[in-house]
Structure 1
Amino acid sequence: MTKTLRRARRMVAAEQIALARLLPIRPRTVLYESFAGNGALCNPEAIFRRLLADPEFADLEHVWALSDSDAADALRREFAGRRDVRIVARGSAAYWKAVSTAGYLINNATFPPSFGKRPGQVYLNTWHGTPLKLMGFDMPGGARESANTLRNLLSADYLLAANPFMTEVMYEDAYQLRNIYPGSIIEEGYPRIDRQRLSDADRNSVRRTLTDQLGVELGDRRIVLFAPTWRGASFQSPDADLAHLADQAAELQHGLGDDVVVLVKTHQVVHSLAQGVPSLRRLLVPNTIPANVLLGVADALVTDYSSIFFDYLATGRPVGFLVSDASSYALERGTYLPLDELPGPVATDAAALAAALRDLMAPDAPRHARYDDWADRFVPYEDGEAGARVIDVVFRGRVRDRRIRTARREGKPRLLFYIGGIRMNGITTSAVNLLNSLDREKYDVTALMAFPKGETTRRNQARLDPGIRQIFRIGGMNGLKGRQLLRRLADVSTDPLRAHRRFGHRTLWRDEWTRVFGTARFDWVADFSGYSPFWAHLMLHSPRAVRAIWLHNEMAADRERTVAGKQPFRRSLGRVFAMYRAYDQLVSVSPSLTELNRTELAGYAPAERFRTLRNLPDRVEATVDAEPEVPRTEADDAWRQALEIDGVQRFITVGRLSTEKNHARLIRAFSRVHAERSATQLFIVGGGPLAADLERQVRAAGLTGAVFLTGPQPQPGRIMDRTDCFVLSSDYEGQPMVLIEAAQRGMPIVSTAFGSARGALPGDDMHVVDRDDDALAEGMLAFLEGRVAPAALDVERYTAEVLAQFDELVPRPE
């Protein structure tokens, strides 16, 4: 599918969603979805059948969202002639209409990124099992992989937990719902496990279905269900070594003997792939038979790391664990509980496991030593009535005598920072340093950002401390295309805060906040980026909270910045300035910058709202160790080799190649310095729109071989450590992170006198010169003559002072 076609389909889908959201909520309609539409399965299926069987709910309309055609056909056949059961194709216009208008939404996984719960809807997320393998933020790359899952969980009014372990380990910790999720966690067991209690007639019926659909004569043979989990780093792109799976099934069958038949139940995400493997065809259980019904007929279970075995503990029958990849799985994913403590035999070899399981299946054989303890811990409420109790809570509102919990609340202020696009720049560095320095015992910290797609943004995202909750904005704002166009036009042409009241845009913004954050609550929210009208506007729509916005620069001057004859920030910053009056705190990054912004932006906000919080350093040691060496390429051999030359004194600057940095002045000043002191070099580290112009300037000045533009580097500190003096030639700045990094390294610093230069470092121990070529050249020569002392920064003391300033910004919880 071409990129253009994908974009067109997304636009059509967006318009379908927008139209559907204009329709009224149908309070007696229930929308069910399991595993992205793979079937009528799991907890939603169990709740669906309970509701159908209860006369009290005869007026309900039931809508299943399905993407699997076999599952859809089977459901249609079963409920042919019933007008209260409908099927919609997942992703279709009918699907979005149902999702947008159903009074009740029940899902065991996630709705797509475009989903946003509307007022009046009740969302129950049942999830799909007690986890053995690491989940959410606990798994490698978990923050990115969990983006849509966390969004769905935060949107739900009710979460379902089979046991306290699931509540505490998965919801509260792995998905970090503690402190910010205000909904209810129903801890009443799993409705799907009710389905395992089969009558003899039902059991025989399922066995006949298996015989008919697989063509395998079961007779009196016992069934061992082999149900491994999926492999891979991403739920969306699972690994599927199905040939190995077929070999394992054959070895189990051989070891268990002819009086047993081994059937295979694959995970939903690989089922369609498994159907295409000939050696699995007569073993693969149809997806139309619910997993827990299969567990009800199975005489034993073999799995690996799948949550399915927790459900099976309620039967009291044997479980075996085949973990041939235990070592690699521990490194790639990991488990919450040690494999050698599982409630059944554990083996890396199918033949060995079959022998151990055969003994446990013998008549009158005792249960495994740990079995009953695990059953008491993980299936304590499975009496066959879990579904009835869940319906009591969600559909009848009966909460008395029910096990309902709220997510753990620790009494900390809940902080939300929007930290921007996390590209390689000073804002990203200062955001990461601040967030990583905050005491998580004192604050609950959430970082909001755009979803990282490139190598650089993923690397910056990975620099955040794992204890920081990460929320990504995925998908786009809902609303009719015409209405979105009017919103954009109004935001540009009028005061954006008045526009959303005048033209009804407030609903669009509130819906977007809900789509991204669900029901999450924060005490203090900050637009740390400070440059985007969209994000400045969105952060103002948080529910009740203190709101702050960062001013990283002399903002009035930044608004007038000219690049290639254009002023790219004039309109956008003008709209941001217009929103300042709605913010409680306007935070500049140095005292002198606060005074500049307070004076120059006096028409946008009262003076008392302008506050100061300096940028924080990162530990040099951590910075050096955290990044890999920059790969050597032919293009950058020249500057790398220049660093190896002895007897040379080197100047360096680090920053974006844009007009406010005035690198052209630095090159002119260095040209004079180099004419007097030829054993000198200048390294300009960074990327930006002026790179080509600066390269031409270097060649025209005859400085090739003395001035080196390295381009953007993931770890500029490595280059700084091999140079002698840091130089800044800016016309205006905030508190440049590179000055802190240079002071940490004890480098001499020469800087032009931009508006907030004096006071940019606590001790003012840098050599400040006028903003002209000659003064900058004189400053650089002063370093060469030994007249510029190294800067110094007492990191511990400075950090403590900054964090004390931060404490003053944050309200204490009530």
Structure 2
Amino acid sequence: MAIKNFFNKIFTLIELIRLPYIKRATDREFKMINSYTDYFKKKAILHNTILYQSHNGMGMSDSPLAIFKELISHPSYKGYKHIWVVNDINNPTINQYSSMSNVKFVKLHSDEYLMYLASAKYLINNHSFPSYFQKREEQIYVNTWHNTPSLYDESSNYGRVYANTQRNFLQVDYLLTDSLQNAKNLMGSYDLDGIFKGKILAEGYPRIDLVLNSNSQLVKKQLSNCTTYKSNQKLIIYSTTWKNEYFSKQNDDIKLTDFLAQLKLNIPTGFQLLLNIEGLPPATINENLKDLIIPSYMDINEILSITDFLISDNMHIINDFAFTNRPIIFFTNEEVDSFEIPVKICTDLTAVTKAMRNMSNTLTSDIKYGSETSKITPKIIDSVLNNNSSWKIYSIANEKTNLIFYCGGFLNNGITTSAINLINNIDYDRFNVIVVDNIRTDKASIENFKKINHNATKLIRVGAMNISVSEWYIHHYITKKGLINNRLEKYLPFNLYKREAQRLFGNIDYDVAIDFSGYVPFWSFIFAFGGFKKKAIYQHNDMHAEYYKKINNKFKHKQKMNLIFPIYKYFDKIIAVSKNTRDENIKNLSKYMEETKAVYVHNCIDSEKIKQQIKVNEEMVLEETTFLLSSKDISDGNLQIKGIKKPTKNKINFVTMGRLSPEKDHEKLLRAFKEFYTKKKDSMLYIIGEGVLETQLKELTYNLGLQKNVIFTGQLTNPYSLISQCDCFILSSNHEGQPMVLLENLIIGMPIIATDIPGNRSILQEDYGLIVENSVNGLVQGMEQYLNNNLPRFNMFNYTSYNKEALDKFYKEIL
């Protein structure tokens, strides 16, 4: 047996050694992260090197191109090396620079790209770098932003692009924009109000210099090489996006390609049409139109410099072209109130055709291309490279303390409820609240995430930790083995977790980190070792009991707690949700907890939400039975309704709510209800919630013969519409922290029966409810006391005073 164990250990070790190399060979993203991390940690900063990236490597374009052109034309900057990121090394526009020794082109995600991204002193981008990017302290990141910002939409789906753009902004040193208000709008659209730390240069975009000052002869030559452009004809540009709303709302026979063909036929004499269509799939355009398409690698701003008039619905293109004072047609089917710039608004092809003819007659025969307008770009370069700005530099960061929360994934549970209640009650005049979470895909988590106060910043984690192979070994070994063996603790890759915090949170002030979950080792590690000024971790339960909790004969939390318990000492405060729970955890976890760090803060409650839910009560009568509607869904002409049999006055209606999991011990409740039911047949039990034991509990209900008197409602978005119509609330848990459901029932004045455990006592011990022995018999006696109208007179719960005390204590402990 000893020999067998020895060889098993050897085999496990070999597999561990092989695994990251197999992963590098099969997982391209993991390999990139490894390589980038090595350069990030080891490669010296290249002080006179500038890396440019525009539209994710589509080509040399936009403001990065304007900055590049200004630098290579100016003798003062001849010592700089310029690195351009492109998807296609054979891009025709790069040929004119290929002979320059200080200009280099690298392919996006290539090893050279990773090296320069990690080491170039200056990084210039008009959108965002990949999710593995994080700025080193010595680097300077200039974001020139390429689009008109959209306002933040609370109902929007947080995709990877949104999340990574948001994360990029937190790394930015300089943000270029044309006004302070647009900078505020942009940060608002990415939910970064008040916490964005970058310097704002609000004097305009370098790309405007390309519109006003490009070499017209060179642009015309480049355009004629890739399209049907003729220099002896005036130029009309139609610029839109492939997913244009105008066309997506039309009938099938009116498509973008049909419109383009008709537009071409109606071009005035002496004019020619070229098309700039973002995101256009090449196969969708007719052959006779393909030569009109401007290739994506050409810069639209330079082409605008030789354009005679523009047709577009793209606001950033319209705003840029407006600097030329040449005619613009705004083509849309939407109602438009007014424009700050002179445009002709057209809603159909006939109107566009008429406008083109009128405009063609007003154009002078010889437009002068180019401008003597004072350039924006040199002043921006002077600000960034020489730290010598003649402009005012703005900041929109406020002076509030940042509270950074992780809340456990926003599943349907008590932790989520208490997190939302706390975040919604915090004083936003004093604090910036930042809630970080992974991208959620399940409906319940998405809906819960939306319930967070709109003043809070929601940061979405995208990408993976930047990790080296050696760090991967250590991290995964410790994750598997745990830290109960304290000899492993000295091998913890502290810098890995600090680096990940910096990748996620960038330049923001690392004031207070609050691991409100306390169950997820990854986030506990990030908050413990991320470089935060103050750190707190919550305990929502009797953590010793949680450690030994089993589901389907497997420990649910043991492996996670083997990682979390030993790092309690790295937090400034260990916050239990009740005094009794704190005392229980101090007693059982004294090995890991310093008593001076162990405090308690009661959960906050949302009394207005509970009182509002009671008022919402939709009913339906079917076959002489009244149902409370729990959900309605109308889609594709179909109506789906779910309902719950309404409690009636001629029966005693008990109700409970919570996860269907072992610690709630619904089995004990069902067996107690069976005993009570044998004496009182006209009684009902409503069980609100869902969980891993649902099937098992329903089988028990059937075996006990209670299927007509026990109703499993599932998860309810509005449970208090049902609870308020029941007679008595019962909580049968074996262990709790501070059960939110008891606090909420106190708000509506429900009679309560609860088992004698620390969490329940912490709420009910001041005569707010009946505490019974934690057993079947104890619950039966409690139900019989209610039946006999023998419950004691309970005190009224002052939820306003309770909430104020809870918040005051929260502020005291985290600051």
TM-score by length of 2: 0.85
Worse-superposed segment, 582-591 or 211-220: 211-220
Shift of residue 31, structure 1, vs aligned partner: 2.1
Higher mean alpha-carbon deviation, 390-399 vs 510-519, is at 390-399
The answer to whether 1:8 aligns with 2:27 is: yes
Which of 336, 361, 380 is 1:390 aligned to? Answer: 380
Query: Residues 782, 382 of structure 1: CA spacing in aligned structure 2 closer, same or farther, 3 A cutoff?
Result: farther
Q: Tell me if the contact between 1:322 and 1:353 (Cα under 8 Å) persists in the aligned partners.
A: yes
Whole-angstrom distance in 2 between the partners of 1:274 and 1:626: 54
Q: State whether residues 180 and 522 of structure 1, in contact with CA within 8 Å, keep that contact through their aligned partners in structure 2.
A: no
Quickly say closer, same or farther: Cα 1:767–1:280, change in 2 above 3 A.
Answer: farther
Kindly report the root-mean-square deviation, in angstroms, between the aligned alpha carbons of the 2 structures.
Answer: 3.7
**1:569-604 Cα distance to aligned partner (Å, 9 max, x none):** 234224322222222222222233233334444443
Gaps of 5+ in 1: 328-337, 366-380
Q: Does 1:737 align with 2:746?
A: no
User: Cα distance, 1:203 vs. partner?
Assistant: 2.1
**Paired residue total:** 765
1:300-354 Cα distance to aligned partner (Å, 9 max, x none): 2222243122222222223232221459xxxxxxxxxx65655423333343355
What letter matches 2:323 in structure 1?
A
Shift of 1:792: 5.5
Verify the 8 A CA contact 1:299 1:317 in the aligned structure 2. yes
Shift in CA distance, 661/674, structure 1 to aligned 2, threshold 3 Å: same
Q: CA deviation at 1:362?
A: 4.7
Query: Once the 2 structures are TM-superposed, how far is the Cα of residue 163 of structure 1 from its aligned partner?
Result: 2.4
Partner of 2:424: 436
Q: In structure 2, what is the Cα distance between the partners aligned to 1:11 and 1:241? A: 44
599, 610, 613: which one aligns with 2:598? 610
Could you tell me how far apart the structure 2 residues matched to 1:31 and 1:500 are?
41
Match of 1:288 among 275, 297, 304: 297
User: Aligned to 2:47, which of 22, 27, 35?
Assistant: 27
Q: State the distance in 1 between where 2:473 and 2:600 align.
A: 37
Counterpart check, 1:185 vs 2:186: no
2:392 is the alignment partner of 1:403: yes
Q: Is 1:245 the equivalent of 2:256? A: yes
* Corresponding residue of 2:807: 803
| Residues 626 and 143 of structure 1: CA distance in aligned 2, closer, same or farther (over 3 Å) | farther
Do 2:764 and 2:771's aligned partners in 1 also have CA atoms closer than 8 Å? no
- Which residue number corresponds to residue 727 of structure 2? 724
CA contact (8 A) 2:412 2:444 kept: yes
1:643-792 equivalences in 2 (<5 Å): 643=646, 647-760=650-763, 764-788=767-791
More displaced stretch, 756-765 vs 162-171: 756-765
Instruction: Tell me the SS of whatever aligns to 1:297.
Output: coil
**For the residues of structure 2 that align with 1:805 and 1:794, how far apart are their CA atoms?**
17
SS across alignment from 2:237: strand
Q: How does 1:579-594 map to 2 (within 5 A)?
A: 579-594=567-582
Q: How far apart, in 2, do the equivalents of 1:146 and 1:323 lie? A: 26
Inter-partner Cα distance in structure 1 for 2:527 and 2:391: 37
Please report how far the alpha carbon of residue 81 of structure 1 lies from its aligned counterpart in structure 2 after TM superposition.
3.4
CA distance in 1, matches of 2:593, 2:194: 32
Q: Which amino acid aligns with 2:775?
A: D
Q: Which residue of 1 aligns with 2:362?
A: 363
1:141-166 deviation digits (Å, cap 9, x = unpaired): 46876311110010122221222232
Alpha-carbon displacement from aligned partner over 1:484-512 (angstroms, at most 9, x marks no partner): 22123246657599889843712211210
| Offset, 1:438 | 2.0
Using the TM superposition, give the Cα deviation of residue 771 of structure 1 relative to its aligned residue in structure 2, in angstroms: 0.3
For residues 398 and 166 of structure 1, the distance between their equivalents in structure 2, rounded to whole angstroms, comes to: 24
Provide the secondary structure at the position in 2 that maps to 1:10: helix
Distance 1:223 1:294, change over 3 A: same
Would you say 1:160 and 2:173 are equivalent positions? no
Judging changes above 3 Å, is the alpha-carbon distance between structure 1 residues 325 and 246 closer, same or farther for their aligned structure 2 residues? farther
Give the equivalent residue in structure 2 for 1:46.
Answer: 66
What is the CA–CA distance in structure 1 between the aligned matches of 2:454 and 2:78, rounded to whole Å?
48
1:681 and 1:706 in contact (8 A); partners too: yes
2:75 counterpart (55, 61, 68) = 55
Q: Secondary structure at the match of 1:479?
A: coil
Distance 2:61 2:250 in 1: 23
In the alignment, what sits opposite 1:317? 326
Bigger RCO of structures 1 and 2 (CA < 8 A, at least 6 apart)? 1
The CA deviation string for residues 677-735 of structure 1, in whole angstroms up to 9 with x for no partner, is 11222222223332333233223222222223344444434443443322111111011
User: Residue 344 of structure 2 corresponds to which residue in structure 1?
Assistant: 345
Structure 2 CA distance for partners of 1:113 and 1:238, relative to 1, 3 Å: farther
Per the alignment, residue 280 of structure 2 pairs with 271
Match of 2:170, as an amino acid?
A: L
Q: 278, 298, 304: which is aligned to 2:313?
A: 304
**How far off its partner does 1:292 sit?**
0.7
Mark the runs of 5 or more structure 2 residues left unpaired by the alignment. 1-22, 365-370, 619-628, 635-639
Confirm whether residue 523 of structure 1 aligns to residue 522 of structure 2. Answer: no
The structure-2 alpha-carbon separation of the partners of 1:79 and 1:354, relative to structure 1 and needing over 3 Å to count, comes to same
1:512 corresponds to:
500
Other structure's SS at 1:456 match: helix
Contact 1:224/1:298 (CA < 8 Å) preserved in 2?
Answer: yes
Q: How far apart in 2 are the matches of 1:239 and 1:467?
A: 38
Counterpart in 2 of 1:620?
A: 610
Instruction: Name the aligned partner's letter for residue 405 of structure 1.
Output: Y
Distance 1:674 1:239, change over 3 A: farther
Q: TM (normalized to structure 1)?
A: 0.85
